[in-house]
């Protein structure tokens, strides 16, 4: 009986697959299979295009790396020139200590050395040679011999050993290619590269093409306005010789090259100007797939790029996994649609209800947006004028209409106006006005709450211009008053909407992120290479979206007063050290470092929630990392500031634009809010930090000058002044 029943159910299921109601499922199966076959047919072309794009990206990256390394070498020579500018007499020991400090072999592998060649009038040749011999170099002479004006001689070259000894005393002005680069550098006052040369260091082994970079050094106090004046004031050159093969191998020693390239010392790519080739057999018979011109310090180099054998084959993968996976997905869709077709009526009813609900929500949202647009379009702000000297205020009829109070055509005393400010907003409002008048600023913007005629409060925005006398003392303030009631109501609606959506998104997003993690981790078998990168991007973005939702929920809890705080008396210095340790990996990712100032107070304590304080410090430190240049140091300090403890985080980035400073602690505020912004973030970090610090009884602020970095700080009351 059981077997017969099983056969009957199986027959019914098979019959159901070919039922008329299942035509949609068959259509989906045929359509999806068609898409899979078309994708399979086009995959080869797409992968070939991807290989081409990957080749161009690799070529750009290689060109940029080479250009950046030559810029680093330029900075080294400029630093050496600065040493000569700062000291009238740089000794051989000074120069050796300076070069050792640079750690060239570790930080800049491939550089042959850094030296100094001095300009000598021909009339002083014998005297100069005698001076160098007196330093312990008995066989020293300027080479090659002969009459030239002027002469030059390499007197310092570190490391002063091995091949570099052969260049000691050489007159580089005696050779035309070197002379051309040296004169160009001297006349322009800028670093210059030479053309292709054979270095004096080629004393043994395979001879490599050579290059030299020169930075001129001038005598202190001489005029340098024209090329002739710069030549007249020339003292010598700080320079570096390069054996090009060693240089290129040093630059790319720690990375494997997926493509081959040739480097030429001229833009025409003449064979005799070849500096380096990564291709084993020379000359190559392969056509260059791409080329770049690099303009570096007076020279134009040509880079030709070639695809090594197997490059395209390495990127092109078998299309069979796509076909198999696509077919499997098609079958899954077929059975899914087939299952859903048997519940069509239920699905249609559900869809109808959802559509109606969405239509109502859309209509409510549209009506709300229309009201807001009409309110903005028809806004009618009032104006006011405050005389600081007489402490009297005059306001327009509209200003009184906001509170539905009788219009007053004459000025009133400021003490009378204070009675119209809500008691819980009075002190903050007066403090903002006093602070604005005490500081040397021109504009102020203050949110406050005024008392309506019927007793309820009206949120308003007071904006004004401060007029000052010659001694910068405030004389009068004129501005406008805007009724914020509608704006506050809209903000509450938006906050409720964001909170609701965030809660609804968290559970499915967690499932999506977890599923992607399992797939990427190989739980379902090896993922085809053609899909791996896309799945990885999907997982990363789901995690970013999860962080955004967490920020939204934190902000919602703070605004609603539902976030709990575990305040304890804790020393702040260990908390700072823990924050620096926790965020060290993020700093290394951005190539910056943290520095805890040595003057930090070791005994400072405050009543704080350790977890929430770490959240604030993580926000401030991550922002400092994102907006600091590579190699910069982020300074963190703890000090007593009046009756408070102040924690400061200072970076050395571009600073905060003045136009953005007034909105920096607002929700979703970003200095660069465009779709192409380079710095990521939700725009909630500083807003959340402000709420957390204020809930712990403190305040947060910043100091910034455009182009000079920014310093974010927060104050917390000391334990002696904190109520328990």
Query: Which pLDDT value is given to residue 194?
Result: 93
- Which has the higher per-residue pLDDT, 642 or 697? 697
**What's the CA gap between 312 and 289, in Å, rounded?**
12
* For range 594-608, the mean pLDDT: 78
Query: Which pLDDT value is given to residue 722?
Result: 43
Q: Given the structure tokens 């020139």, which residue do they identify? A: 81
**What is the band of 674 on the pLDDT scale with cuts at 50, 70, 90?**
very low
Query: Which pLDDT value is given to residue 239?
Result: 95
**What is the band of 677 on the pLDDT scale with cuts at 50, 70, 90?**
very low
Query: Which pLDDT value is given to residue 676?
Result: 38
pLDDT of residue 131 exceeding 90, the answer is yes
- Which has the higher per-residue pLDDT, 379 or 182? 182
Using DSSP, state whether 290 is helix, strand or coil: strand
pLDDT of residue 364 exceeding 60, the answer is yes
Query: Which pLDDT value is given to residue 111?
Result: 87
Reported as a single tens digit per residue, the pLDDT across 421-439 is 887 877 888 877 788 778 7
**What is the band of 585 on the pLDDT scale with cuts at 50, 70, 90?**
confident
**What is the band of 400 on the pLDDT scale with cuts at 50, 70, 90?**
confident
Reported as a single tens digit per residue, the pLDDT across 271-280 is 899 988 888 6
* For range 612-636, the mean pLDDT: 89
Query: Which pLDDT value is given to residue 174?
Result: 92
Query: Which pLDDT value is given to residue 376?
Result: 42
DSSP label of 76: H
- Which has the higher per-residue pLDDT, 283 or 63? 63
**What is the band of 592 on the pLDDT scale with cuts at 50, 70, 90?**
very high
pLDDT of residue 283 exceeding 50, the answer is no
Query: Which pLDDT value is given to residue 32?
Result: 75
Which residues, in sequence order, are bridge partners of residue 593?
633
**What's the CA gap between 701 and 665, in Å, rounded?**
9
**Angle, to 10 degrees, between the axis of helix 685-695 and the axis of helix 529-560?**
30
**What is the band of 125 on the pLDDT scale with cuts at 50, 70, 90?**
very high
**What is the band of 231 on the pLDDT scale with cuts at 50, 70, 90?**
very high
* For range 407-431, the mean pLDDT: 76
Query: Which pLDDT value is given to residue 713?
Result: 93
Query: Which pLDDT value is given to residue 344?
Result: 63
Q: Cα dist. 488→492, 503, 555 in Å?
A: 6, 23, 16
DSSP label of 132: H
Residues sharing a CB contact under 8 Å with residue 589, sequence separation 6 or more, in sequence order: 625
Rg, Å, the chain Cα set? 37
pLDDT of residue 659 exceeding 60, the answer is yes
**What is the band of 15 on the pLDDT scale with cuts at 50, 70, 90?**
low
Query: Which pLDDT value is given to residue 121?
Result: 93
Q: Which of 61-70, 474-483, 511-520 has the lowest mean pLDDT?
A: 511-520
Query: Which pLDDT value is given to residue 75?
Result: 92
* For range 609-614, the mean pLDDT: 87
**What is the band of 396 on the pLDDT scale with cuts at 50, 70, 90?**
confident
Q: Which of 143-147, 307-311, 353-357 has the lowest mean pLDDT?
A: 307-311
* For range 24-42, the mean pLDDT: 74
* For range 626-651, the mean pLDDT: 88
Query: Which pLDDT value is given to residue 238?
Result: 95
Q: Which of 3-12, 100-109, 136-145, 678-687 has the lowest mean pLDDT?
A: 3-12
* For range 577-585, the mean pLDDT: 88
Q: Which of 91-105, 142-156, 492-506, 570-584 has the lowest mean pLDDT?
A: 492-506
Any idea of the CA torsion for 50, 56, 60, 65, to the nearest 10 degrees?
A: 70
Chain-wide mean pLDDT for the chain? 80
Of 609, 622, 636, 611, the closest CA to residue 697 belongs to 609
Reported as a single tens digit per residue, the pLDDT across 147-191 is 888 999 999 999 998 889 999 999 999 999 999 999 999 999 999
Query: Which pLDDT value is given to residue 196?
Result: 92
pLDDT of residue 136 exceeding 80, the answer is yes
- Which has the higher per-residue pLDDT, 498 or 83? 83
Read out DSSP for 532-584?
A: HHHHHHHHHHHHHHHHHHHHHHHHHHHHHT------EEEEHHHHHHHHHHHTH
Residues sharing a CB contact under 8 Å with residue 37, sequence separation 6 or more, in sequence order: 323
**What is the band of 682 on the pLDDT scale with cuts at 50, 70, 90?**
low
pLDDT of residue 637 exceeding 60, the answer is yes
**What is the band of 223 on the pLDDT scale with cuts at 50, 70, 90?**
very high
Per-residue burial over 207-241, b = 16 or more CB atoms within 10 Å of its CB, e = otherwise: ebbbbbbbbbbbeeeeeeeeeeebbebbbbbbbbb
Residue 680 φ then ψ, to 5°: -80, 180
**What is the band of 650 on the pLDDT scale with cuts at 50, 70, 90?**
very high
The whole-model pTM stands at: 0.44
Go through the domains of the chain in sequence order and give each one's CATH number: 2-52+323-345 (no CATH), 62-306 (3.30.450.350), 382-483 (3.30.450.20), 489-560 (1.10.287.130), 568-721 (3.30.565.10)
Which residues, in sequence order, are bridge partners of residue 699?
715
**What is the band of 506 on the pLDDT scale with cuts at 50, 70, 90?**
low
pLDDT of residue 78 exceeding 90, the answer is yes
């Amino acid at each position: 009986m059981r077997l017969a029943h099983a056969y009957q159910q199986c027959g019914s299921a098979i019959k159901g697959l070919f039922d008329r109601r299942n035509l949609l499922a068959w259509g989906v199966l045929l359509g999806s299979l068609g898409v899979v076959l078309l994708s399979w047919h086009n995959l080869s072309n797409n992968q070939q295009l991807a290989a081409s794009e990957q080749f161009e990206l690799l070529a750009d990256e290689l060109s940029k790396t080479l250009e950046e390394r030559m810029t680093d070498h330029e900075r080294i020579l400029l630093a050496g020139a600065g040493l000569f500018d700062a000291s009238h007499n740089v000794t051989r020991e000074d120069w050796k200590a300076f070069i050792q400090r640079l750690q060239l072999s570790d930080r800049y592998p491939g550089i042959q050395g850094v030296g100094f060649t001095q300009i000598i009038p021909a009339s002083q040749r014998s005297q100069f040679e005698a001076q160098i011999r007196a330093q312990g170099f008995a066989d020293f002479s300027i080479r090659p011999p002969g009459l030239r004006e002027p002469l030059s001689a390499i007197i310092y070259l570190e490391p002063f050993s091995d091949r570099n000894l052969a260049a000691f005393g050489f007159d580089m002005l005696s050779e035309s290619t070197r002379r051309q680069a040296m004169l160009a550098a001297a006349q322009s006052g800028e670093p210059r590269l030479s053309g292709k040369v054979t270095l004096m260091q080629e004393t043994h082994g395979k001879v490599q093409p050579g290059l030299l970079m020169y930075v001129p050094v001038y005598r202190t106090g001489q005029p340098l306005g024209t090329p002739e004046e710069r030549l007249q004031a020339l003292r010598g050159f700080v320079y570096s010789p390069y054996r090009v093969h060693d240089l290129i191998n040093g630059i790319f020693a720690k990375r494997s090259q997926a493509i081959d390239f040739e480097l030429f010392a001229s833009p025409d790519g003449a064979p005799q100007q070849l500096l380096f080739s990564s291709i084993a057999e020379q000359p190559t018979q392969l056509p260059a797939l791409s080329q770049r011109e690099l303009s570096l310090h007076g020279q134009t180099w040509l880079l030709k790029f070639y695809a090594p054998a197997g490059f395209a084959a390495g990127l092109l993968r078998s299309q069979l996994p796509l076909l198999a996976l696509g077919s499997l997905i098609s079958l899954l869709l077929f059975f899914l649609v087939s299952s859903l077709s048997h519940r069509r009526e239920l699905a249609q009813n559900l869809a109808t209800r959802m559509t109606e609900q969405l239509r109502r929500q859309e209509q409510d949202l549209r009506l709300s947006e229309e009201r807001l647009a009409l309110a903005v379009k028809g806004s009618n702000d009032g104006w006011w004028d405050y005389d600081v000297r007489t402490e009297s205020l005059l306001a327009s009829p509209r200003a009184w209409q906001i509170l539905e109070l009788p219009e007053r055509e004459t000025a009133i005393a400021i003490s009378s106006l204070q009675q119209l400010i809500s008691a819980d907003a009075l002190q903050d409002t007066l403090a903002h006005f006093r602070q604005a008048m005490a500081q040397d600023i021109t504009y102020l913007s203050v949110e406050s709450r005024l008392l309506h005629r019927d007793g309820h409060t009206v949120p308003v925005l007071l904006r004004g211009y401060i007029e000052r006398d010659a001694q910068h003392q405030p004389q009068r303030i004129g501005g406008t008053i805007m009724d914020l009631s509608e704006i506050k109501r809209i903000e509450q609606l938006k906050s409720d909407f964001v909170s609701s959506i965030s809660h609804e998104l968290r559970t499915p997003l967690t499932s999506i992120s977890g599923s992607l993690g399992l797939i990427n981790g190989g739980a379902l078998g090896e993922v085809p290479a053609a899909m791996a990168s896309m799945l990885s991007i999907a997982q990363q973005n789901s995690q970013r979206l999860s962080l955004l939702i967490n920020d939204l929920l934190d902000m919602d809890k703070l605004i609603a007063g539902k976030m709990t705080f575990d305040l304890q008396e804790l020393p702040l210095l260990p908390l700072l050290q823990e924050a620096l340790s926790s965020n060290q990996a993020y700093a290394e990712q951005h190539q910056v470092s943290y520095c805890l100032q040595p003057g930090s107070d070791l005994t400072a304590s405050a009543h704080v929630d350790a977890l929430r304080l770490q959240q604030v410090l993580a926000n401030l430190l991550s922002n400092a990392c994102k907006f600091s240049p590579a190699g910069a140091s982020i300074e963190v300090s703890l000090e007593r500031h009046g009756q408070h403890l102040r924690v400061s985080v200072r970076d050395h980035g571009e600073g905060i634009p003045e136009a953005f400073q007034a909105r920096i602690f607002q929700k979703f505020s970003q200095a660069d809010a465009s779709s192409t912004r380079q710095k990521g973030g939700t725009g909630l970090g500083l807003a959340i930090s402000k709420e957390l610090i204020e809930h712990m009884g403190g305040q947060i602020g910043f100091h910034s000058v455009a182009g000079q970095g920014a310093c974010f700080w927060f104050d917390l009351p000391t334990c002696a002044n904190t109520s328990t």
